């Protein structure tokens, strides 16, 4: 009799496992528990979002997949976090239940720093070189354009050097990676600045000083070549035939 009962129990357990009845029973019990808690006041009443500037509110709500009145314990914060961090604008998300009735979402959005032009496409990128979007970029047209396959990855190294020299950065239109070795800068007035492969900071500092003292960007130039350390070669606009060199040793150049 005992042996038969044991066999029956084993058979019943196997049937529950194979048929999925155990899973369905657990899900039913879980749902009942959520609804019971909701009846005691633990339901979604408010969704609080902080840090959202550019991320779509509609997309956020769709990913949450929850509405007012839903049992708050049925909401999975970790699953929501994973989904929200797939939004291109979102760098990091913090999601939690704030009992009894609030879902809290804290966002850290990506900060756009440049427009990356590559393969006839323009994309908005952040300081980490991550592409944010290639649509609706008109509001960011004032950002510098960076050009080149590896430009988004390497630009974060050059950017603070440029920002340290507002005489240059405020006139900057585009930053072009040349041969994956160095940078060309194109100013808004059409002047191209050829930076050296190394010591960009020193070159930029000298150039900013020349602008402050001699207004070099106001001269009739098309190109300022700084690729050779200790020497600056400038080229005049079309129609002028003069090309001349300016040498300097830690001081001002003569142009």
Residue 25 belongs to some domain of the structure: no
Give the CATH number of the domain where residue 94 resides: 3.10.20.310
pLDDT at 249: 44
- Identify whether residues 179 and 217 lie together within a single domain: yes
Round to whole Å and give the CA distance between 65 and 71: 12
pLDDT at 101: 94
pLDDT at 229: 85
Residue 12 belongs to some domain of the structure: no
Round to whole Å and give the CA distance between 152 and 130: 8
- Identify whether residues 84 and 73 lie together within a single domain: yes
pLDDT at 3: 56
- Identify whether residues 120 and 242 lie together within a single domain: yes
What's the token pair of residue 124? Answer: 């908005």
Give the CATH number of the domain where residue 234 resides: 3.40.50.11690
Residue 22 belongs to some domain of the structure: no
Q: Please tell me the total count of domains within the chain.
A: 2
| Ranges of the chain with pLDDT below 70 | 1-30, 32-33, 238-255
Give the global pTM: 0.75
Q: Which uninterrupted H or E stretch holds 215?
A: none
- Identify whether residues 103 and 199 lie together within a single domain: no
Which of 109, 137, 152 lies at the terminal end of a domain, its last residue?
109
Give residue 154's domain range.
112-247
């Amino acid at each position: 009799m005992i042996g038969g009962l044991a066999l029956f129990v084993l058979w019943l357990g196997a049937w529950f496992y194979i048929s999925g009845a155990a899973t369905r029973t657990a899900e039913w019990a879980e749902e009942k528990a959520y609804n019971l808690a909701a009846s005691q006041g633990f339901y979604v009443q408010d969704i609080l979002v902080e840090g959202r500037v550019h991320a779509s509110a509609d997309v956020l709500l769709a990913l949450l997949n929850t509405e007012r009145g839903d049992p708050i314990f049925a909401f999975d914060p970790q699953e929501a976090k994973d989904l929200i961090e797939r939004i291109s604008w979102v760098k990091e998300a913090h999601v939690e239940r704030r009992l009894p009735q609030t879902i809290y979402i804290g966002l850290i959005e990506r900060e756009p720093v440049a427009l990356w032009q590559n393969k006839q496409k323009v994309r908005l990128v952040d300081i980490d070189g991550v592409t944010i979007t290639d649509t609706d970029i008109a509001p960011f047209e004032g950002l510098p354009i960076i050009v080149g396959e590896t430009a988004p990855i390497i630009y974060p190294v050059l950017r603070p050097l440029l920002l340290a020299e507002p005489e240059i950065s405020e006139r900057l239109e585009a930053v072009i990676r040349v041969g994956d070795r160095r940078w060309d800068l194109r100013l808004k007035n059409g002047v191209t600045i050829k930076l050296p492969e190394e010591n960009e900071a020193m070159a930029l500092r000298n150039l900013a000083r020349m602008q402050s003292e001699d207004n070099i960007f106001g001269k009739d130039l098309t190109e300022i070549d700084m690729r050779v350390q200790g020497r600056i070669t400038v080229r005049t606009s079309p129609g002028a035939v003069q090309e001349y060199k300016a040498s300097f040793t830690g001081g001002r150049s003569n142009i």
